[in-house]
């Protein structure tokens, strides 16, 4: 279900953010799948490697890692393009904010 929600978030971000283009719902869906896989594997490894820098920057490195993952997704998915790394970082910030709002109740249920 999160993949479908992320696909719709990607489509909304493509409307809002210049430099982020998604050609179809299928590109958004495939982009959400690839983004989830990259976040799980590559994101985890990068966050582990960058842990000391993340600690010193008070978490700002996570924003850059999120942008890198999104930028990598655009390179792997046809029809999902991001014009620059900084557009990807900006989209990643908005994506994280929307996800935190949508998935807040899910986290609260575990406590």
Asked if residue 108 belongs to a domain, the reply is no
Question: What local confidence, expressed as pLDDT, does residue 1 receive?
Answer: 85
pTM: 0.88
Residue 111 falls within a domain, yes or no?
no
- pLDDT tens per residue, the chain (111 residues)? 889 999 999 999 999 999 999 999 999 999 999 999 999 999 999 999 999 999 999 989 999 999 999 999 999 999 999 999 999 999 999 999 999 998 877 655 555
Q: Kindly write down the DSSP assignment for every residue of 14-66, as one continuous string.
A: HHHSTTEEE--HHHHHHHHHHHHHHIIIIIHHHHHHTHHHHHHTTTHHHHHHH
Query: What's the number of domains the chain is made of?
Result: 1
CA dist 100 and 72 (Å) reads: 22
Residue 72, domain member (yes or no): yes
**Domain range for 67:** 2-103
């Amino acid at each position: 279900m999160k993949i479908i929600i992320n696909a719709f978030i990607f489509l909304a971000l493509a409307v809002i953010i210049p430099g982020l283009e998604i050609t179809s719902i299928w590109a958004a869906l495939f982009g959400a799948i690839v983004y989830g896989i990259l976040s799980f594997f590559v994101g985890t490894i990068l966050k582990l490697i960058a842990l000391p820098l993340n600690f010193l920057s008070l978490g700002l490195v996570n924003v850059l890692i999120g942008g890198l993952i999104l930028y990598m997704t655009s390179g792997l998915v046809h029809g999902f393009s991001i014009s620059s790394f900084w557009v990807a970082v900006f989209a990643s910030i908005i994506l994280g904010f929307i996800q935190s709002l949508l998935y807040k109740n899910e986290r609260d249920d575990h406590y």
